[in-house]
Chain A
Amino acid sequence: MTQQRFRWYGRFRKTIRFLSLFLLISALFAAQGQAAAKAPAPSGLDTRAIFERYADRIVKVQVVESKSGAESIIGTGFFVSQKGHLITNYHVVSKYIQFPERYKVQVLGRTGEPRDAVILGIDVLSDLAVLKDSVPADAYFSLTAADLPQGTHLFSLGHPRNISLSIVEGTHNGYFKQSSLKQIHFTGSLNPGMSGGPAITASGVVAGINVTTAGNQVGFLVPVSKAVDLLSKTRLNGNTTSPDFTEAVRSQVLKFQESTVPDDLIKSGKTVRLGNYDLPGQLSTLFECNADSYVEPHKLYETVTHACSNKEDIYISNSLRTGSIKIQHQLITTDKLNQYRFYNLYSEFFKSYGGPWSGSEEELTKYECRAGTVEHNGAIFKTLFCARAYKKLPGVYDVAFKAAALGDRKQGLVTSLYLTGVSFEKGMLLSRDYLEKISWKK
Chain B
Amino acid sequence: MEKIVFIEILDRWGRVQERVRVDSFPATIGRAYSNRVIIDDKHVDPGHARISLAEDGVLYLEDLNSVNGLHLVKPASRVDRIAVSPDLRVRIGQTVLRLRFEDQEVAPAVVDRTAEDELPAFATNPFLLGASLLVGMAWFVLLSYLGSPRYTELADILIKGVTTLLAFCAWAGLWSFASRLLAQRFRYLTHLSFAVALGAVFMVFAISHDYLEFVVSPGPMTIAAEFAIIGAGLFFLVYGHLAILPALSKRGKIVSSAIAAVLVCAFLGTSAYSDHRKFSTEFKPQFSLKPVSKKWLFAKKPEKFFSALPAMKVKLDEAAKKKLAD
Residue B319, interface by CB 8 Å: yes
CA A388 to CA B283, docked complex, whole Å = 10
Residue B147, interface by CB 8 Å: yes
B294 touches A371 (CB 8 A): no
Residue B121, interface by CB 8 Å: no
Q: Which of B129-153 contact A (CB under 8 A)?
A: 145-151
Contacts known (A298-B151, A374-B300, A391-B320); A2 close to B286, Cβ less than 8 A:
yes
A158 to chain B, nearest CB (A): 32
Residue B291, interface by CB 8 Å: yes
A340 to chain B, nearest CB (A): 4
Q: Which of B151, B209, B297 contacts A406 (CB 8 A)?
A: B297
B316 touches A365 (CB 8 A): yes
B-chain residues with CB within 8 Å of residue A428 when the two chains form the complex = 306, 309-310
Residue A392, interface by CB 8 Å: yes
Those 4 A-B pairs whose CB atoms lie nearest each other, nearest first: A345-B149, A367-B283, A375-B299, A372-B305
Interface size on B, residues (CB 8 A): 54
B320 touches A365 (CB 8 A): yes
Kindly supply a per-residue 1/0 record for chain B positions 275-317, scoring 1 wherever the CB is within 8 Å of any chain A CB and 0 otherwise.
1000111111111111110100111111011101110110111
B21 to chain A, nearest CB (A): 66
B288 touches A343 (CB 8 A): yes
**Can you name 17 A-B residue pairings with CB atoms under 8 Å?**
A2-B287, A4-B275, A337-B149, A343-B290, A344-B148, A350-B289, A364-B281, A368-B312, A369-B283, A372-B305, A383-B302, A385-B309, A387-B316, A389-B316, A391-B323, A391-B324, A424-B310
Q: Which of A313-358 contact B (CB under 8 A)?
A: 337-348, 350-351, 353, 355-358
Kindly supply a per-residue 1/0 record for chain A positions 249-291, scoring 1 wherever the CB is within 8 Å of any chain B CB and 0 otherwise.
0000000000000000000000000000000000000000000
B217 touches A371 (CB 8 A): yes
A341 touches B279 (CB 8 A): no
Q: Which of B149, B285, B300, B319 contacts A365 (CB 8 A)?
A: B319
Contacts known (A341-B146, A371-B285, A386-B283); A366 close to B299, Cβ less than 8 A:
no
Q: Which of B213, B281, B308 contacts A359 (CB 8 A)?
A: B281
A1 touches B279 (CB 8 A): no
B298 touches A389 (CB 8 A): no
Residue A46, interface by CB 8 Å: no
B146 touches A406 (CB 8 A): no
Q: Which of A10, A357, A431 contacts B281 (CB 8 A)?
A: A357
Residue of A nearest to B293 (CB): A407
CA A300 to CA B147, docked complex, whole Å = 15
A residues at B contact (CB < 8 Å): 1-4, 10, 296-298, 300-301, 337-348, 350-351, 353, 355-359, 361, 364-376, 380-392, 394, 397, 400, 402, 404, 406-407, 409, 412, 424, 428, 431-432, 435-436
Contacts known (A300-B149, A409-B291, A431-B306); A353 close to B315, Cβ less than 8 A:
no
A-chain residues with CB within 8 Å of residue B310 when the two chains form the complex = 424, 428
Residue of A nearest to B214 (CB): A382
Residue B268, interface by CB 8 Å: yes
Given A390-B320, A424-B310: 8 more A-B contacts, CB < 8 Å: A2-B209, A340-B291, A341-B149, A369-B285, A370-B312, A373-B217, A391-B320, A435-B302
CA A351 to CA B308, docked complex, whole Å = 22
B272 touches A1 (CB 8 A): yes
A371 touches B282 (CB 8 A): no
A-chain residues with CB within 8 Å of residue B313 when the two chains form the complex = 387, 424
B-chain residues with CB within 8 Å of residue A342 when the two chains form the complex = 149, 291
B-chain residues with CB within 8 Å of residue A412 when the two chains form the complex = 289
Kindly supply a per-residue 1/0 record for chain B positions 147-178, scoring 1 wherever the CB is within 8 Å of any chain A CB and 0 otherwise.
11111000000000000000000000000000
CA A339 to CA B293, docked complex, whole Å = 12
B-chain residues with CB within 8 Å of residue A370 when the two chains form the complex = 217, 305, 308-309, 312
Q: Which of B226, B280, B283, B288 contacts A347 (CB 8 A)?
A: B288
CA A298 to CA B148, docked complex, whole Å = 14
A374 touches B280 (CB 8 A): no
Residue of A nearest to B292 (CB): A406
Residue B210, interface by CB 8 Å: yes
Q: Which of B147, B315, B316 contacts A397 (CB 8 A)?
A: B316
CA A361 to CA B284, docked complex, whole Å = 17
Residue of A nearest to B294 (CB): A407
Residue B218, interface by CB 8 Å: yes
CA A47 to CA B259, docked complex, whole Å = 82
CA A412 to CA B289, docked complex, whole Å = 10
B-chain residues with CB within 8 Å of residue A359 when the two chains form the complex = 281
CA A358 to CA B281, docked complex, whole Å = 7
A344 touches B288 (CB 8 A): yes
Contacts known (A343-B290, A389-B316, A389-B319); A356 close to B283, Cβ less than 8 A:
no
B153 to chain A, nearest CB (A): 11
CA A282 to CA B294, docked complex, whole Å = 31
B279 to chain A, nearest CB (A): 4
CA A399 to CA B214, docked complex, whole Å = 22
Residue of B nearest to A375 (CB): B299
CA A353 to CA B284, docked complex, whole Å = 7
B-chain residues with CB within 8 Å of residue A4 when the two chains form the complex = 272, 275
A373 touches B319 (CB 8 A): no
Residue of A nearest to B307 (CB): A428
A-chain residues with CB within 8 Å of residue B145 when the two chains form the complex = 341
B-chain residues with CB within 8 Å of residue A358 when the two chains form the complex = 281
A-chain residues with CB within 8 Å of residue B215 when the two chains form the complex = 373
B203 to chain A, nearest CB (A): 12
Contacts known (A340-B146, A390-B320); A347 close to B289, Cβ less than 8 A:
yes
> Which one of A341, A356, A404 has the highest number of Cβ atoms from chain B below 10 Å of its Cβ?
A341
CA A353 to CA B280, docked complex, whole Å = 12
CA A361 to CA B319, docked complex, whole Å = 11
B-chain residues with CB within 8 Å of residue A382 when the two chains form the complex = 214, 289
B278 to chain A, nearest CB (A): 8
B-chain residues with CB within 8 Å of residue A301 when the two chains form the complex = 149
> Which one of B146, B217, B282, B310 has the highest number of Cβ atoms from chain A below 10 Å of its Cβ?
B282
B290 touches A380 (CB 8 A): no
Contacts known (A2-B210, A374-B305, A406-B292); A341 close to B299, Cβ less than 8 A:
no
Contacts known (A2-B288, A391-B320); A432 close to B306, Cβ less than 8 A:
yes
